[in-house]
């Protein structure tokens, strides 16, 4: 955890992004790290946890973090929490809370609220289109013998 916190502090001092750091640990050793690179990479998905997951998966040569732990300097936002669940680590540890983040204007509460609302009623205009055409990919997937399930 101290390494994730150190990364978050160093990231602020360097001016490369927000005050967030994360590390992935396997067998007691740090195998990957990430810092918030949103502003330095012009990538709104480049949160510390996502960067660390990408680095760990690349290093391990897999899309899942079996038997790994994630340490992050702050309670993950909804996007990062989703990515963490998709990567399937063994455990997640965090330091600062989402309230601590909100107190310095990193407030994700609107996203948590919007997730609970039917898509038609969300603040971001959302409309479903061409479902029948899109279902073709799902039908192909469900019958394919050439897939890796995850």
Q: What is the DSSP track for 76-143?
A: PPHHHHHHHHHH--SEEEEEE-HHHHHHTT---HHHHHHHTS-GGGSSS------HHHHHHHHHHHHH
Rounded CA-CA distance 58/127 in Å is: 35
Residues serving a catalytic function are: 49
Q: Identify the CA nearest to 71 among candidates 33, 40, 39.
A: 33
Rounded CA-CA distance 10/2 in Å is: 12
Euclidean distance between the first and the last CA atom of the chain, given in angstroms as a whole number: 29
């Amino acid at each position: 955890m101290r390494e994730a916190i150190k990364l978050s502090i160093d990231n602020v001092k360097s001016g490369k992004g927000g005050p967030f750091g994360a590390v992935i640990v396997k067998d007691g050793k740090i195998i990957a790290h990430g810092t918030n690179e949103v502003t330095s990479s012009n990538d709104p998905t480049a949160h510390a946890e996502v960067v660390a997951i990408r680095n760990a998966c690349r290093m391990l040569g897999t899309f899942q973090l079996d038997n790994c732990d994630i340490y992050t300097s702050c309670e993950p936002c909804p996007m990062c929490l989703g990515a963490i669940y998709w990567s399937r680590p063994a455990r997640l540890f965090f330091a600062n809370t989402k309230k601590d983040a909100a107190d310095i204007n990193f407030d994700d509460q609107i996203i948590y609220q919007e997730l609970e609302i039917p898509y038609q009623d969300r603040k971001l205009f959302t409309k479903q289109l061409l479902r029948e055409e899109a279902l073709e990919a799902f039908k192909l997937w469900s019958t394919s013998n050439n897939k890796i399930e995850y």
